[in-house]
């Protein structure tokens, strides 16, 4: 069972199915976010359905590029023999 | 003392017979001790044990309350899991070190006074350092020494703080510090923050953990930072500084994790990030926030151990640790991958996994405390956590480019240990009330609300979308990252340069001067002295001796032995005496 699940995520022949399933999940999450009951919202963004999806995506992109910028342009990343 | 058996001493004393036991007896024995410890923790009653007087101070070996029992429970469970994971080891030394390490951590958790705490604190440092040294590579030895030096520096600060605090308050009992941040409390706080790996005091962790043995790193990932979280929760709840340090910490870890190529170093940066949540919770200090912080520590120990076990299994089987050299293992290690993913989903706080019910409590507490910025930063860190531990690491380790590695599933004991941790990660997520009942304050928090589930899934799955789109930007690179250990690693190098170049040159110049100028001068002086001695002093002494010899000869001639000569001499003497008397008397 485990092997089949793992193969579904690994094998190239499932790539199309995988992508479809992934997009379906994304759409369902956003739809669900519009439908759930919000009893109290402390902050503005909490009232905004779909905010978390946007924020998650934004955070991910920001983290990737800010980190890589720090690594490459600000010299945090060095050759492996830097300390040798 | 019948209703309290100190589980820490159980581990430390229990470690003694391990080297003399062999084979399956040893295996059974090393499993027995953690099991007994779990029983001891579950059956203990709140109270104070082992009160005594030491150098005029009241000390308390063990103070049992809900907070200490919570940490002791998870430490002993983790010790059992870690021991199962290390069961295949043929050498006893690592078992002994791990037991002393766990025992010391439990000693800290129960310590009722600062002196006991400090003693066990040091025990942890040395026992854990051995787990790095036991790796035996040149790299590990160096990292181990750095680890030891940093921790000893921290301990000195802590001890200084304890002594000053003891003088100021007249007591070394360990409890909430209420007199603000004076010099003494700052020293204590610095000692604690160093062990919690709060930047800039974090580099020892990410430097040493990836160099430790496969089995040793599992213990290290669980104990040192979490004992620090415990002591912070005990002594510094509600310290506003911690909120900001924790927030920075949560993001610091994920930023570095993007850059990291070594699989266990990536996980180590996520310890920094996750401990950030706990530090924030303690800093906020409300009941809900402290509950969140300590429950997150509980969950964190289990899923982080699971992640380290998964990465360790890959290292154990393939002998490789860099993401650039790994890939395509899902075909040969599907069970390892599945168990690793349970840990990854737990740390990422997916619904029905442990992180979901604990991390959200900290974030919700920050929201209730009107700290919008903290909430946003922690949510961003959650996104980063899933991005690395849940997506980047498994992708490049198990999927990605197939490196054609000859791999297989790790030994069964490793899989069993991972299975135990995985079951607990899911159990906590599904039945959070069991964990909530152990927390120090009453819990009024339900993680499973519709909006919380959709929001969490939104953040996480759209992080995955970002990952899919920008996959190429995340490709691991064959580099290392400069962290704050740069200061002491390069500082030590500069110092050595200073010692080897300018100081050595100065030393040489001084010896040159002495050889070319001072030595000939001294030689000349010595020769002159010799000449004076021979020609002057000796000649004078010889002359005096000769004169005395001649005088003696003359006197000898006067002693003729003829009575008339003596009588004549006496008469001459009497006349002379009378003459002198007569003249002098006048």
Task: Choose from A57, A65, A84 for mutation: most chain B CBs within 10 A.
Answer: A57
How near does any CA of chain B get to the CA of A4, in Å?
Answer: 9
- Which pLDDT tens digit goes with each residue over B53-70? 888 888 899 999 999 999
Q: How far is residue B314 from each of residues B317, B340, B388, B408, measured CA to CA in Å?
A: 5, 10, 17, 9
Instruction: Give B1's pLDDT tier (boundaries 50, 70, 90).
Output: very low
CA atoms within 13 A on the CB side of B91: 10
Q: Is B68 helix (H, G, I), strand (E, B) or coil?
A: helix
Q: Do A53 and B462 touch (CB under 8 A)?
A: yes
Residues of A in contact with B331 (CB under 8 A): 7, 10
Kindly report, residue by residue over B252-287, the tens digit of the pLDDT: 999 999 999 999 999 999 999 999 999 999 999 999
Q: How far apart are CA B167 and CA B112, in angstroms?
A: 18
Comparing alpha-carbon positions, the chain B residue that sits nearest to A25 is: B461
Percent of chain B with pLDDT over 90: 83
DSSP labels, A13-75: GGHHHHHHHHHHHHHHHHHHHHHS-----SSGGGGSTTHHHHHHHHHHHHHHHHHHHHHHHSS
The Cα–Cα gap between B556 and B549 comes to 11
- Mean of per-residue pLDDT scores for chain B: 93
Residue B106 has pLDDT above 50, yes or no: yes
Q: Where are the domains of chain A?
A: 1-36, 40-84
Tokens of B366: 């920050």
Q: What are phi and psi of B501, to 5 degrees?
A: -95, -80
Chains A, B: CB contacts under 8 A, how many?
Answer: 157
- Do the Cβ atoms of B454 and A33 come within 8 Å? yes
Smallest Cβ–Cβ distance between B384 and the set A55, A57, A63 belongs to A63
Set of chain A residues whose Cβ sits within 8 Å of the Cβ of B376: 55
- Say how far apart CA B185 and CA B173 lie, in whole Å: 14
Which positions in chain B touch A3 (Cβ < 8 Å)? 334
pLDDT band for position A40 (50/70/90)? confident
Distance, in angstroms, between B3 CA and closest chain A CA? 45
Q: What are phi and psi of B505, to 5 degrees?
A: -65, -40
Residues of chain A with Cβ-Cβ distance to B464 below 8 Å are 22
**Min distance B508 CA to chain A CA atoms (Å):** 28
* Coil/strand/helix, residue B259: helix
- Searching chain A, which residue's CA lies closest to the CA of residue B459? A56
Nearest alpha carbon to residue B369 among B273, B290, B295: B290
Residues of B in contact with A25 (CB under 8 A): 461
Q: Does A29 touch chain B (CB under 8 A)?
A: yes
- Rounded CA separation B166/B187 (Å): 13
Alpha carbons within 13 angstroms on the beta-carbon side of residue B163 total 6
**B472 confidence band (pLDDT: 50, 70, 90):** very high
* A38 touching B (Cβ < 8 Å): yes
pLDDT in tens, A25-38: 999 999 999 998 88
Mean pLDDT of B575-582: 89
And the tokens for B467? Answer: 């990952």
What is the average pLDDT value for chain A, to the nearest integer? 91
Residue of B351, B377, B459 to mutate for A, most A C-beta atoms under 10 A = B459
Nearest to B463 among A22, A59, A70 (CB): A59
CB neighbours of B519 closer than 8 A, spacing ≥ 6? none
- Kindly state whether A15 is in contact with chain B, defined as any CB-CB distance less than 8 angstroms: no
Stated pTM of the model:
0.88
- Contact at CB, A38 and B258, closer than 8 angstroms: no
Strands B47-54 and A77-79: unpaired
**Are the beta carbons of B441 and B287 closer than 8 angstroms?**
yes
Count of residues in chain B: 586
**Per-residue pLDDT tens over the stretch B521-567:** 999 999 999 999 888 888 898 999 999 999 888 888 777 778 888 88
Q: Which pair of structure tokens corresponds to residue B287?
A: 């009941």
Preferred mutation among A42, A67, A79 to probe B, highest tally of B CBs within 10 A: A67
Segment B183-224, tens digit of pLDDT? 999 999 999 999 999 999 999 999 999 999 999 999 999 999
**What is B310-352 written as a DSSP string?**
HHHHHHHHH---BGGG---GGGT-HHHHHHHHHHHHHHTT-TT
- Check CB contact under 8 Å for B383 and A60: yes
Q: List CB contacts (< 8 A) between A54 and chain B.
A: 462
pLDDT tens digits, one per residue of B488-497: 999 988 998 9
3-state secondary structure of B53: strand
pLDDT in tens, B342-359: 999 999 999 999 999 999
Confidence of residue B2 (pLDDT cuts 50, 70, 90): low
Q: What is the pLDDT of residue B219?
A: 97
What's the confidence (pLDDT) of residue B75? 97
- Report pLDDT digits (tens) over B112-123: 999 999 999 999
Tokens of B171: 């007591």
Percent of chain B at pLDDT above 70? 99
Which of B255, B375, B376 lies closest to A67 in CB terms?
A: B255
Q: Which residue out of A9, A24, A59 would a mutagenesis test of the B interface target, given it has the greatest number of B Cβ atoms within 10 Å?
A: A59
pLDDT digits (tens, 9 = 90+) for B22-34: 999 999 999 999 9
Instruction: Tell me the domain boundaries of chain B.
Output: 1-225, 237-477, 489-577
pLDDT at residue B140 is higher than 90? yes
Q: CA-CA distance, B251 to B380, in Å (whole number)? A: 8
Round to whole Å and give the CA distance between B396 and B384. 16
ipTM of the complex: 0.96
Across the interface, whether the CB atoms of B258 and A63 are under 8 A apart is answered: yes
Decide if B474 contacts B468 (C-beta within 8 A): no
Q: Enumerate residues 41 to 80 of chain A having a beta carbon within 8 A of any beta carbon in chain B.
A: 42-43, 46, 50-57, 59-68, 70-71, 75-80
Q: Say yes or no to pLDDT of B586 above 70.
A: no
């Amino acid at each position: 069972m485990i092997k089949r699940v793992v193969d579904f995520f690994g094998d190239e022949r499932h790539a199309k199915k995988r992508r479809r399933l992934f997009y379906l999940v994304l759409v369902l999450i956003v739809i669900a976010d519009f439908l759930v009951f919000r009893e109290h919202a402390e902050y503005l963004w909490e009232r905004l359905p779909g905010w978390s999806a946007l924020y998650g995506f934004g955070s991910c992109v920001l983290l990737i590029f800010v980190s890589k910028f720090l690594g490459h342009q600000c010299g945090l990343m060095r050759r492996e023999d830097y300390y040798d | 003392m019948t209703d309290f058996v100190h589980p820490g001493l159980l581990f430390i004393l229990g470690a003694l017979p391990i080297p003399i036991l062999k084979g399956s007896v040893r295996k059974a024995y090393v499993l027995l001790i953690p099991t007994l410890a779990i029983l001891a923790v579950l059956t203990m009653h709140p109270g104070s044990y082992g009160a005594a007087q030491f150098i005029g101070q009241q000390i308390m070996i063990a103070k049992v309350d809900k907070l200490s029992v919570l940490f002791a429970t998870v430490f002993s469970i983790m010790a059992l899991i870690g021991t199962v994971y290390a069961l295949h080891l043929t050498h006893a030394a690592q078992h002994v070190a791990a037991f002393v390490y766990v025992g010391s951590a439990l000693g800290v958790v129960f310590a009722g006074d600062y002196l006991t705490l400090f003693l066990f604190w040091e025990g942890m440092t040395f026992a854990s350092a051995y787990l790095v040294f036991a790796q035996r590579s040149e790299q590990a030895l160096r990292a181990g020494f750095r680890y030891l030096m940093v921790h000893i520096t921290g301990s000195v600060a802590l001890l200084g703080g304890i002594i000053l605090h003891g003088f100021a308050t007249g007591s070394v009992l360990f409890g909430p510090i209420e007199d603000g941040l004076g010099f003494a409390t700052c020293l204590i706080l610095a000692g604690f923050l160093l062990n919690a790996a709060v930047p800039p005091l974090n580099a020892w962790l990410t430097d040493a953990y990836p160099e430790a043995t496969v089995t040793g790193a599992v213990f290290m990932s669980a104990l040192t930072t979490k004992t620090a979280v415990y002591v912070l929760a005990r002594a510094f709840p509600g310290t506003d500084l911690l909120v900001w340090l924790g927030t920075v910490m949560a993001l610091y870890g994920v930023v570095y994790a993007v850059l990291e190529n070594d699989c266990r170093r990536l996980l180590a940066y996520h310890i920094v990030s996750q401990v950030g949540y706990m530090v924030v919770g303690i800093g906020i200090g409300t009941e809900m926030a402290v509950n969140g912080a300590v429950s997150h520590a509980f969950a964190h120990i289990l899923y982080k151990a699971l992640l380290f076990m998964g990465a360790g299994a890959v290292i154990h089987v393939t002998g490789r640790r860099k993401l650039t050299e790994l890939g395509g293992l899902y075909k040969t290690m599907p069970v390892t991958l599945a168990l690793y993913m349970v840990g990854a989903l737990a740390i990422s706080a997916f619904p029905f996994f442990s992180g979901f019910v604990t991390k959200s409590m900290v974030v919700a507490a920050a929201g209730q405390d009107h700290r919008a910025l903290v909430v946003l930063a922690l949510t961003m860190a959650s996104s980063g956590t899933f991005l690395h531990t849940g997506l980047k690491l498994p992708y490049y380790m198990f999927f990605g480019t197939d490196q054609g590695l000859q791999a297989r599933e790790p030994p069964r004991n490793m899989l069993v240990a991972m299975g135990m941790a995985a079951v607990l990660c899911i159990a906590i997520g599904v039945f959070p009330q069991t964990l909530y009942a152990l927390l120090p304050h009453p819990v009024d928090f339900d993680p499973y609300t519709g909006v919380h589930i959709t929001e969490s899934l939104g953040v996480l799955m759209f992080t995955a979308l970002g990952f899919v789109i920008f996959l190429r930007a995340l490709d691991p690179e064959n580099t290392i990252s400069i962290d704050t250990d740069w200061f002491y690693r390069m500082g030590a190098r500069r110092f050595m340069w200073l010692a080897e170049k300018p100081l050595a040159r100065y030393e040489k110049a001084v010896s040159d001067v002495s050889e070319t100028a001072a030595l000939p001068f001294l030689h000349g002086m010595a020769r002159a002295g010799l000449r004076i001695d021979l020609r002057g002093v000796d000649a004078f002494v010889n002359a005096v001796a000769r004169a005395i010899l001649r005088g003696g000869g003359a006197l000898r001639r006067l002693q003729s032995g003829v009575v008339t000569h003596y009588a004549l001499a006496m008469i001459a003497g009497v006349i002379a005496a009378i003459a002198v008397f007569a003249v002098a008397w006048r």
